[in-house]
A and B are shown apart, each in its own frame.
Chain A
Amino acid sequence: MPYGPHTPADRARMLATIGIDSVDELFSDIPEGLRASPLDLPPPEPELELAARLEDLAGRNRVDLASFLGAGVYRHYSPAAIDQILLRGEWYTAYTPYQPEISQGTLQSIYEYESLMAELLGLDVVSASHYDGAAATAEAALMTCRATRRERVLVSRAVHRHYRETMATYFQGGGLDLEEIPLVAGGPAAGTTDLVALERLLADPSRPVAGVVAGQPNFLGLLEPMAEIGRLAHAAGALFVAVVEPVSLAVLAPPGAYGADIAAGEGQPLGIAPQYGGPYLGILASTDALVRQIPGRLVGMTSDVDGKRAFVMTMRAREQDIRREKAASNICTNQALLALAASVYLALIGPHGLRDVAALGASRAAELERALAEIGVGRLHPGPYLNEFVIRVPDAPTVHRRLLDRGVLAGLVLAEAEPDDPSLADGLLVCATEVTTTDEIARFTAGLSDLLGDRPAVEIPSGRGAGRSAPGVASGTPR
């Protein structure tokens, strides 16, 4: 066994102390008919060979592309100090701080995380973190039902599809209803939450609404009229849940400023690597009024018997290990190490640095929009955005695939991600951040321009994108 300590002599001594001849005797209580068939797995692999195998697998992924893919997970610069701190064994090999006297590091770091997020969000209570943005949003929706004792939640269709699907899964058991608020189809507000439809959905007195969930920026990158959505929700006695992206909060109004009762979001942009889906950081926060409803761990400040300031997990009566079937949620762990990463990121980068990250992303995105416009590729929606938007590209799936051959990851193909929304069929959701370079933008527009044959995009017949493309691209080698 690779990490085992026992010599044959150690084993013999332990067996003798126990008074048995073989370790098999310790398993004699497994009924004979239920004993396992042999484990059919590859043989043990020495570290040298395993390291080579892992490098080989990692090398089969392509992460060298000029990427314009965001859609809920964003490339950002992560200062070098973050990972060096995360690699300290005192952080990552500790467990839940059940013994506060020897866990003050983790406890204070969580308290600081809660405080940093509270500042960023403009809210009072921040949980010690949830699994990811989607799970946090689902928990937020459940919170609105518990707090209002109502059973119907409205979610904007412009909230990330994975989040809506996660909410639907979490709602399966409770007899709760989840309904989608449609988006404005055309005009200046196209692609944002339809306020008229929202008002209509809220108006049914026989089916009162517990919560209204909307995202800022929304999934399509557009800015939503959050204050107005919140006003409509509150007028109907519902709570308002804002789904937010934390970096944007350096420049966009925080949920607390526009009346959100609960905020949820994905903390990945705060220095956490994309790593194909996680682990990430589910942000969940609320006003003080909802503190007894918030699920997950909370750390508070207190003092010890000598009067020294100290930190401790608190209000534990909401949690599963105490309350069992009456708990606010079954959540047991939090994402402590990722909350730490986010805190270190914020501490290193500071308020001005965070604003620079957000503003530089907005600036790069505007540069991308201009460069695309020059080759005749325009946005699908006219409204304001921060750093992500939808462009219209005929036969987007094929174009997207061919751009991969040119080292460009041209965002998200909405025909595949949102197959049931025909208005997005030609859409690519693209984003830029502070790490996007002018050279990457040039590679994107050059490739796209070749594939579209240098003609205005609207004139390209769907399904054919030949033009004067490089050899091998026009033939469209499938990948």
Chain B
Amino acid sequence: MSVTGSRLQPTIFEKSSPGRGGGKIPHPPNDALDRIPADARRSVPPALPEMNEPEVVRHYVNLSQLNYAVDTGFYPLGSCTMKWNPKLNEWAARLPGFAGLHPLAPDAIAQGTLQLLFELEAALAEISGMEAVTLQPAAGAQGELTGILMIRAYHRAHGDLERTEVLVPDSSHGTNPATATMAGFTTVTVPSAADGGVDLDAFRAALGPRTAAVMITNPSTLGLFEARIGELLDAVHGAGALAYMDGANLNAILGRFKPGEAGFDVMHFNVHKTFSTPHGGGGPGAGPVGVGSKLVPFLPGPRVLRAEDGGYRLERPAERPTSIGRLRAFVGNTGVLVRAYAYIRAHGGSGLREVSDDAVLAANYLKVRLAGTFDEPYGDRACKHEFVASAASLKKATGVRTLDIAKRLIDYGYHPPTIYFPLTVEEGMLIEPTETEPIETLDAFADALIAIAGEARSHPELVLEAPHATPVRRLDEATAARQPNLRWRPMAGAETPCPD
């Protein structure tokens, strides 16, 4: 039986029938466009599909059933924190007062949202131990860019123009070096130590007068807390550089470690990970950024401020000339932030600490359950919210790779873990159960992985050819990249002319 629905759908273009649809919008007067100059007008109408509502709804409902999702099952996708997305939050974001508010509405009519944003900034500052928070970045990667551009502005404000390098460990997220490049820096990749943590000596050797920043994910992408983080931060600051924390793994350390208190200068939050906002099939997210006092002047604008009358207001254009500017239009992904606010309020301080406790507990439980079956390169240490297992030995013995195991897991009804990340682990699987899965699910998942390891020895073809019960099986990705087909080409004349 398939873990998703199995009814593949023709494209909406193939379902279109000229003349179908309508009934949504009143017809405009015939002369509505007469004042638009002919040379500015469209000559051929776009060949969009023509469908009636029932067919549209069935199309998208049937397509949805081809997806695996948190609402349908366990999603132990390491580094992505696929936790429960509370339904109250969806309701809240759709309240007309929130959803209908124009982003350029005067402050006087936006007090509810401004208060929510102000309180959310304060909560994120408390959680991170940072001085101030901007909610503007639209995603974690944009948060990274925000942080690194602030670091750049900080060094320039101090006349320090020689700092052109950003140091990242080799286990970092790909966004870290990509961000450094976007912000005009050269990336220096520093190898990890044998225990999976940062190699202090290698960092000390790489740090110098050219170092602008060090970007560290803590807990690391291996799911390990950086035990030498204090020494590393001392070394970074000793070299005159600033420390960036990639907050992707914040779900492991709520109430246990505050990056700002520990000495990080800036970090981003992935609210779609830690604070439960839905991943949406790949977005939207939101990537607030917290900063220590050194970087406050450089925060993007507009910030949300307390007004003299006790209300709230947005910073005006050019009110703070030291700002790095804006990263996007308007204030931020407010609809996402409403959900994050609701999540933080629902949990309170004690509940957030329990989130991390239970996420870490679940990960360690799974790690122990799988210890005899897979290699666990860092198995001697407690992991945080995720851990990396490796099928390297299994592959040597059976020829079955991590990719095959991942595909076979689908047959067992699970979304696979993140595979081949971090790049530093051979045949790696990054497993993150999150705090919202019951022990029965964790056990069943562990049993499935153990069973697959057994199949790899007894019936390897079963694993090598998996998945077997999905609407489509393994795809030809090479042809897709070599001869890209990136859009449907409607047949010429398929559209009906607009009735002018």
Contacts and interface: CB of A to CB of B under 8 A. Distances in A.
A208 B191 CA distance: 41
B80 to A, nearest CB: 6
B318 A419 contact: yes
A472 interface: no
Contacts of A79: 24, 53
A112 interface: yes
Contact of B278 (A42, A93, A276): A93
A119 B48 contact: yes
Contacts of B32: 359-360, 362-363, 366
Given A73-B102, A102-B410, A163-B329, A45 B345 contact: yes
Nearest to A321: B174
B174 A106 contact: no
Contacts of B471: 101, 104
Contacts of A110: 282
A5 interface: yes
B479 A251 contact: no
Contact of A279 (B77, B335, B439): B335
Contact of B138 (A37, A108, A131): A131
Nearest to B3: A102
A274 B149 CA distance: 28
Given A23-B360, A278-B330, A335-B284, A31 B229 contact: yes
Interface stretch (B9-17, B288-296, B388-396, B448-456): B9-17
Nearest to A45: B345
B328 A14 contact: no
A279 B138 contact: yes
B364 interface: yes
Given A273-B335, A310-B472, A324-B178, A105 B36 contact: no
Nearest to A303: B476
Given A102-B67, A340-B281, A277 B330 contact: yes
Given A54-B342, A321-B174, A336-B281, A89 B72 contact: yes
B179 interface: yes
B8 interface: yes
A54 B284 contact: no
| Interface size range on A against B | 35 or more
B65 A105 contact: yes
Contact of B336 (A41, A63, A84, A278): A278
A6 interface: yes
Given A101-B473, A169-B327, A274 B103 contact: yes
Contacts of A303: 475-476, 479
Interface stretch (A171-179, A199-207, A447-455, A460-468): A171-179
A312 B477 contact: yes
B384 to A, nearest CB: 8
Interface stretch (A132-140, A372-380, A438-446): A132-140
Interface in B372-390: 381-382, 384
A324 B257 contact: no
A102 B140 CA distance: 25
Contacts of A304: 472-476
Given A69-B105, A276-B102, 10 more contacts: A10-B438, A39-B353, A92-B279, A93-B279, A109-B281, A114-B487, A253-B40, A274-B100, A304-B476, A327-B181
7 contacts: A1-B355, A37-B129, A62-B105, A103-B281, A251-B36, A257-B42, A384-B40
